[in-house]
């Protein structure tokens, strides 16, 4: 009986998290109340978020960690495979890794929300976002940067770092745009539904990373 209660409670919390993630991705964390989350989740008790997570902020932090951990695990597994084959050999291989591992292969296209959620959160509450991560769940990303530095040996470190900033912003924008379009079920989205689009996005990111520098990067670029 106790095990059944724990399972039921766990299912309710997981459902609340999924609903909250979708709402936060659409409206931003400031545009959603705990009451709205509970109502959208079909909870009669409007204090359900507090009961399961303690606070809205704690729920947000848990969502950040859940998604970041899953991406990091996929990214490290992808890199393990590439390295076992002697790679990655090209900048585009790393760009492809970054894009593909940011997408949950177990979720039906159109149901994902994490990338939109973190893009909005990073713009409005970057401190909360960074605090939730706590310097964790980015080992795969750091491995990608290590390989990019190896594959871009002639580019000055300051320019490399500048390109990595551009890359992170571009990655988030592409993935958020994809999620937003696919979430619209009122019409087909042939561009975003094509796997070739992700391959082209990787090619664009690689071209941006490898383009000849036009000017000296500021010394403060990180």
Residue 218 has pLDDT above 80, yes or no: no
Residue 155 Ramachandran class (φ > 0 left, ψ -120 to 50 alpha, else beta): beta
Tokens of 176: 């958020």
Instruction: Tell me the mean pLDDT in the region 109-137.
Output: 94
Rounded to whole angstroms, how far apart are CA atoms 117 and 154? 36
How many CB atoms are located within 10 Å of the residue 159 CB? Answer: 19
Question: Among 33, 80, 98, which residue's Cα sits nearest to residue 60?
Answer: 33
Q: How many CB atoms within 10 Å of residue 25?
A: 25
The pLDDT-based confidence of 2 (bands split at 50, 70, 90) is: very low
pLDDT of residue 4: 45
Residue indicated by tokens 């204090």 = 47
Q: How confident is the model at residue 110 (pLDDT cuts 50, 70, 90)?
A: confident
Q: Share the mean pLDDT of the chain.
A: 92
Token code pair at residue 189: 């989205």
103 phi and psi angles, rounded to 5 deg: -110, 130
For residue range 53-68, list pLDDT tens digits in order. Answer: 999 999 999 999 999 9
Task: Identify the sign of the CA torsion 164, 104, 77, 87.
Answer: negative
Percentage above 70 pLDDT, the chain? 92
Which pLDDT belongs to residue 5?
Answer: 42
Cα distance between the two ends of the chain = 54
What are the residue boundaries of the structural domains of the chain, listed by start? 60-210
Q: What is the pLDDT of residue 221?
A: 52
Burial bucket for residue 24 (CB in 10 Å: 0-12, 13-18, 19+): buried
| Integer CA distances (angstroms), 193 to 95, 181, 185, in order | 19, 10, 12
């Amino acid at each position: 009986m106790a095990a059944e209660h724990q399972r039921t409670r766990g299912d309710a919390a997981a459902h609340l998290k999924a609903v909250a993630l979708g709402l936060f991705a659409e409206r931003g964390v400031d545009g959603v109340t705990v009451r709205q989350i509970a109502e959208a989740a079909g909870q009669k008790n409007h204090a359900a978020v507090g009961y399961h997570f303690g606070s809205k902020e704690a729920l947000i932090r848990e969502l950040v960690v859940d998604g970041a951990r899953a991406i990091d695990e996929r990214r490290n597994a992808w890199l393990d495979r590439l390295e076992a084959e002697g790679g990655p050999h090209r900048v585009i291989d790393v760009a492809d890794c970054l894009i593909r591992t940011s997408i949950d292969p177990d979720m039906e296209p159109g149901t994902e929300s994490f990338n939109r959620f973190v893009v909005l959160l990073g713009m409005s509450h970057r401190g909360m976002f960074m605090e939730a991560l706590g310097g964790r769940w980015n080992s795969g990303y750091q491995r990608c940067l290590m390989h990019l530095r190896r594959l871009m040996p002639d580019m000055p470190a300051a320019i490399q770092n500048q390109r990595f900033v551009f890359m992170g912003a571009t990655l988030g924008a592409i993935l958020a745009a994809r999620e937003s379009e696919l979430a619209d079920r009122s019409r087909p989205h042939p561009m975003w539904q094509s796997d070739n689009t992700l391959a082209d996005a990787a090619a664009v990111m690689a071209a941006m990373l490898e383009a000849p520098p036009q000017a000296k990067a500021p010394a403060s670029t990180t």
